[in-house]
A = this chain, B = another copy of it.
């Protein structure tokens, strides 16, 4: 293999695929990044067996030469070194040439690196996924769905299935659900897919989704998602992102979501968020427990009390309060994360009793729902 490539394209591709490479892998070849030069493009691949990322650099972009492929071929270069090298190259053009024994020359200006590479034949093949179950989505919307749900997954490995986000697609409605058994985050959107296309019990590791969120551009582009039995493939501009799925049956969260409520409170999202953040400041040693009570008129009280440290009380104005009086305690961390995930200015909270889960929804969007279990206080 011998190519001359523009440094910025090289650095971007290497940076993207290196995110899939783990330094703790037990498979030596996976510590490397595979580079394959074809006559149309140079393909970079990184993988940790769970996640694989492929980035391609075309030989030409808008009539401008990006890569000159002098000799076709493949090589695997150690990710740890090559990611650092590409950031520090002195000149805008980089020559990469595989020599004897997989030793690879990387030359830019007067700087010459001779890096020991590995034979690319040993690099594992990426899964073959046919485009049977395919749906399209704007990357913006997809990223916001990840952001609004993945924070609620479990971080404990005792129930591995809860470390993932459940995807469902039925009648062109795609939903993401996450729960750690103390709270639920749910986000639905309408997507462009045939009505017959169904996705059921597909659970994607939150780690994969967070990585995907980082790697996708912020600009609005259309991405394609392909789901197979044990893999998902996301196709974006010059990027292929593969992730394995989690095995097991995801719990049915719809059964714990109350269908009606005894009390409803409508408040400004930001005002409630900030009051809870303040109340939680002194509650660190009390498992972050904060209390919400409705009080006469149109106000609610947010408070916390940690005898050794002190207490906080704050009243905020509610847009509307209806139904029974409310006195409920909850882990402020769950509430803060849910409120931060809601981009709408106003929310309605529905309560069904001091020991029953309560529901938070934006008043202007019924496709977003957060559920929080209260905590018992004595």
Task: Across the A-B interface, give the 4 residue pairs with the lowest CB-CB distance, nearest first.
Answer: A115-B310, A111-B314, A114-B310, A84-B281
A2 CB to closest chain B CB (Å) equals: 17
- Choice from B85, B277, B281 contacting A81 with Cβ under 8 Å: B281
Q: Taking each of A278, A310, A316, which has the highest tally of chain B beta carbons within 10 Å of its own beta carbon? A: A310
Q: Assuming A90-B274, A274-B88, A274-B90, is B311 touching A114 (CB within 8 A)?
A: yes
Closest-by-CB residue of B relative to A279 is B111
Q: Assuming A88-B278, A110-B315, A274-B90, is B310 touching A116 (CB within 8 A)?
A: yes
Say yes or no: A309 contacts B116, CB within 8 Å: yes
- Choice from B78, B274, B308, B316 contacting A309 with Cβ under 8 Å: B78
**A282 at interface by CB-CB < 8 Å:** yes
19 contacts between A and B (CB under 8 A): A78-B309, A81-B281, A81-B282, A81-B309, A84-B281, A85-B281, A88-B274, A88-B278, A89-B278, A103-B310, A110-B315, A110-B316, A111-B275, A111-B313, A111-B314, A112-B312, A113-B281, A113-B311, A114-B311
Q: How far is the CA of A315 from the CA of B314 in the complex (A)?
A: 67
Residues A267-288 near B (CB distance < 8 A): 274-275, 277-278, 281-282
Say yes or no: B274 contacts A113, CB within 8 Å: no
Q: Assuming A81-B309, A103-B310, A309-B78, is B113 touching A282 (CB within 8 A)?
A: yes
Residues A17-76 near B (CB distance < 8 A): none
Q: How far is the CA of A116 from the CA of B311 in the complex (A)?
A: 9
In this complex, how many residues of chain A approach chain B with their Cβ under 8 Å: the count is: 30
| Complex contacts, A311 vs chain B, CB 8 Å | 113-114
Q: How far is the CA of A55 from the CA of B90 in the complex (A)?
A: 47
- Choice from B81, B90, B113, B278 contacting A111 with Cβ under 8 Å: B278
| Complex contacts, A116 vs chain B, CB 8 Å | 308-310
A13 CB to closest chain B CB (Å) equals: 19
B-contact 0/1 string along A297-313, CB 8 Å cutoff: 00000000000111111
| Complex contacts, A78 vs chain B, CB 8 Å | 309
Say yes or no: A277 contacts B88, CB within 8 Å: yes
| Complex contacts, A88 vs chain B, CB 8 Å | 274, 277-278, 281
